[in-house]
């Protein structure tokens, strides 16, 4: 009897102890950070300059790093990256095939988030706010969180670029905000709201961009210590601010709200707005999980203008590291240590500037895509007697004017074959293939799969162009770009941190489309509706 009483007592005490332990099904807040145009190697290239209190060393040491995270489709650009990260699938399924594309259903260009049914909120710049996620054909992880909590979760997306804030937040977001370069305001659209909240109006009224301009841009550390970069003011760089550091920006105050996006102050503006969102929208304030999707657009603007090997790029990431470290401190204080789940990744990388590579005898160059289209149409007219048989050359593809081809009863295969033959004769183009017969093309299987993963009928071209490694589209003002299958564009960082994340590192290859299903497993919610990625077992174990 005594044994039985002791057993009952112990059982009661154990149950009481369990009842007192906090059982958290989900974190208070999920923070997704996408750094636009962050190559994976930046984590280690500038490692010695990253601050001990910064973000990157903290995430690498205390979080979980997936060192071989790849993009599994051919067109590695901003819109595709953000959509794929948050939907867990590829453009062939979510429908975002580029930042814009030639849409055969309307016979015109379509911007990825363009929506003529909505209007700008927060500015008189009409075009800047005519945006929504309607072109995205599936749900995002943010949508699934809203559904799982019966729409009690709060979801907000922010970025300087509209597509960086809109596509991650999904169809059911409470808000998405982006930066209007004409007015210097954070804005939204009538898809989300009729008017900006009072706190956003107050934030905009401060005109912090003007105060940023007064600071100019000089390197954070003495410029001679930037040994991971080539010299300042290289011939292949954009001279948008002048001939090298330090840059004066005061002349733009009150006049030009655009150039701030290509300076470190663009990142600071984004971080300040992110903090304001959390504070004023009470995100993570209760036990119902909220989701803040942040995209840092500035590194992309800087990379395009100056290239990955520039002092400007190095300075941007050294500063971003410190700034994100302060943001982590803010989250610890505001939400609570281990009460939030954070991941950091990128939408794509970038090629080194061809001018830089050439100076070290690495073959590289620029493809004159518009010139290719123009001269190809002349060749096609000589053969078939019709002008403009190629509607557009964009997104590393040629789009056939199928309406004209059909109306003239031309042989589509013959038109394609001549176009392919001519394209293959152009500098920088390694392969040109008919997407309709891609599986029969003599290409590496991985590349064929990436082309298929990017193809969405009506939003994709007819002939896929594959450049030689290190060759990029022509840039009028120097710098570089991205968008191809090669590792310099397709290899991105992926770091996990915070709630239920044990420190570790994974070397095996995974894809960015694995992020959303991993979040689904961690949050115990359904995967997005088009998800084809797989949960990363090492994260959720």
CA distance 368 to 198: 48
Q: Compute the C-alpha angle 211/37/120, nearest 5°.
A: 55
Query: What pLDDT shows up at residue 180?
Result: 98
CA distance 145 to 165: 17
Query: What pLDDT shows up at residue 240?
Result: 86
Inter-residue long-range contacts of 399-407, CB under 8 Å, 24+ positions, other chains counted: 399/102, 399/104, 399/461, 399/462, 400/461, 400/462, 400/463, 402/104, 402/462, 403/107
Query: What pLDDT shows up at residue 126?
Result: 93
Query: What pLDDT shows up at residue 1?
Result: 42
pTM of the entire predicted model: 0.94
Query: What pLDDT shows up at residue 500?
Result: 96
Helices within 283-409 (DSSP H only) = 298-306, 311-334, 354-358, 369-384, 402-407
Q: Tokens for 500? A: 């239920």
| DSSP-assigned states of every residue in 240-254 | SS-SSSSBP-GGGTT
Query: What pLDDT shows up at residue 476?
Result: 56
* pLDDT by residue, tens only, the chain of 541 residues: 444 454 544 454 444 444 444 446 899 999 999 999 999 999 999 999 999 999 999 999 999 999 999 999 999 999 999 999 999 999 999 999 999 999 999 999 999 999 999 999 999 999 999 999 999 999 999 999 999 999 999 999 999 999 999 999 999 999 999 999 999 999 999 999 999 999 999 999 999 999 999 999 999 999 999 999 999 989 889 888 988 999 999 999 999 999 999 999 999 999 999 999 999 999 999 999 999 999 999 999 999 999 999 999 999 999 999 999 999 999 999 999 999 999 999 999 999 999 999 999 999 999 999 999 999 999 999 999 999 999 999 999 999 999 999 999 999 999 999 999 999 999 999 999 999 999 999 999 999 999 999 999 999 999 999 999 999 998 655 689 999 999 999 999 999 999 999 999 999 999 999 999 999 999 999 999 999 999 999 999 8
Q: Tokens for 164? A: 């960086």
Q: Say if domain 29-350+486-540 classifies as CATH 3.40.720.10.
A: yes
Query: Quick check: helix, strand or coil at residue 371?
Result: helix
CA distance 380 to 411: 12
CA distance 43 to 150: 38
CA distance 34 to 11: 48
CA distance 90 to 84: 6
Q: Say if domain 369-426+429-467 classifies as CATH 3.30.1360.150.
A: yes
Every domain of the chain and the residues it spans: 29-350+486-540, 369-426+429-467
Query: Quick check: helix, strand or coil at residue 177?
Result: strand
Is the preceding peptide bond at 204 cis, omega within 30 degrees of 0?
no
Separation in Å, CA 46 to CA 40, 114, 225, 308, 313: 11, 37, 12, 12, 10
Residues 6+ apart with CB under 8 A from 333: none
Chain centroid to CA 224: 32
Query: What pLDDT shows up at residue 448?
Result: 97
422-457 in b/e form (b: 16+ CB < 10 A) is bbeebebbebbbbbeebeebebeeebbbbbebbbbe
Active site residues: 78
Of 61, 59, 16, give the one whose Cα is nearest residue 38.
59
Q: Tokens for 53? A: 């209190």
Q: Tokens 């060749």 appear where? A: 379
């Amino acid at each position: 009897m005594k044994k039985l009483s002791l057993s009952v007592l112990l059982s009661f005490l154990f149950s009481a102890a369990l009842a007192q332990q906090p059982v958290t099904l989900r974190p208070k807040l999920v923070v997704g950070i996408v750094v636009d145009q962050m190559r994976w190697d930046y984590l280690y290239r500038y490692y010695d300059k990253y601050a001990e209190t910064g973000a990157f060393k903290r995430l690498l040491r205390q979080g979980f790093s997936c060192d071989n995270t790849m993009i599994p489709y051919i067109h590695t650009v901003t819109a595709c990256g953000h959509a794929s990260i948050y939907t867990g699938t590829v453009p062939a399924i979510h429908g975002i095939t580029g930042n814009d594309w030639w849409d055969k259903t309307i016979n015109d260009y379509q911007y990825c988030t363009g929506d003529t049914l909505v209007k700008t909120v927060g500015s008189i710049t009409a075009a800047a706010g005519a945006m929504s996620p309607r072109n995205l054909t599936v749900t995002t992880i943010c949508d699934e969180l809203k559904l799982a909590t019966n729409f009690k979760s709060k979801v907000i997306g922010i970025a300087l670029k509209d597509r960086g804030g809109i596509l991650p937040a999904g169809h059911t977001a409470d808000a998405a905000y982006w930066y209007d370069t004409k007015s210097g305001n954070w804005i939204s659209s009538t898809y989300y709201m009729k008017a900006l909240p009072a706190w956003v109006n107050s934030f905009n009224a401060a005109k912090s961009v003007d105060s940023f301009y007064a600071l100019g841009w000089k390197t954070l550390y003495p410029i001679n210590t930037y040994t991971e970069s080539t010299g300042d003011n290289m011939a292949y760089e954009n001279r948008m601010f002048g001939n090298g550091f330090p840059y004066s920006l005061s002349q733009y105050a009150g006049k030009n709200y655009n150039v701030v996006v290509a300076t470190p102050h663009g990142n600071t503006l984004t971080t300040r707005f992110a903090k304001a969102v959390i504070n004023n929208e009470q995100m993570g304030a209760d036990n119902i999980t909220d989701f803040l999707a942040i995209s840092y657009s500035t590194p992309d603007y800087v990379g395009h203008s100056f290239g990955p090997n520039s002092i400007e790029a190095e300075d941007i990431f050294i500063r971003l590291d410190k700034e994100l470290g302060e943001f982590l401190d803010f989250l610890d204080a505001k939400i609570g240590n281990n009460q939030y789940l954070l991941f950091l990744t990128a939408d794509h990388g970038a090629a080194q500037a061809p001018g830089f590579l050439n100076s070290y005898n690495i073959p590289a160059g620029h493809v004159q895509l518009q010139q290719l289209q123009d001269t190809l149409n002349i060749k096609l007219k000589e053969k078939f007697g019709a002008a403009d048989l190629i509607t557009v050359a964009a997104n590393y593809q040629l789009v056939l004017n199928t309406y004209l081809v059909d109306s003239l009863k031309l042989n589509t295969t013959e038109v394609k074959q001549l176009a392919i033959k001519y394209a293959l004769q152009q500098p920088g183009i390694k392969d040109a293939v008919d997407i309709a017969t891609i599986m029969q093309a003599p290409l590496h299987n991985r590349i064929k799969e990436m082309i298929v993963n990017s193809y969405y009928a009506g939003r994709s071209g007819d002939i896929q162009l594959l450049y030689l490694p290190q060759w990029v589209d022509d840039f009028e003002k120097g710098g570089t770009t991205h968008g191809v299958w090669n590792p310099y564009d397709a290899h991105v960082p992926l770091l996990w941190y915070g709630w239920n994340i044990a420190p570790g590192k994974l070397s095996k290859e995974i894809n960015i489309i694995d992020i959303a299903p991993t979040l689904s497993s961690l949050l115990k919610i359904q995967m997005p509706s088009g998800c084809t990625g797989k949960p990363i077992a090492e994260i959720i174990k």
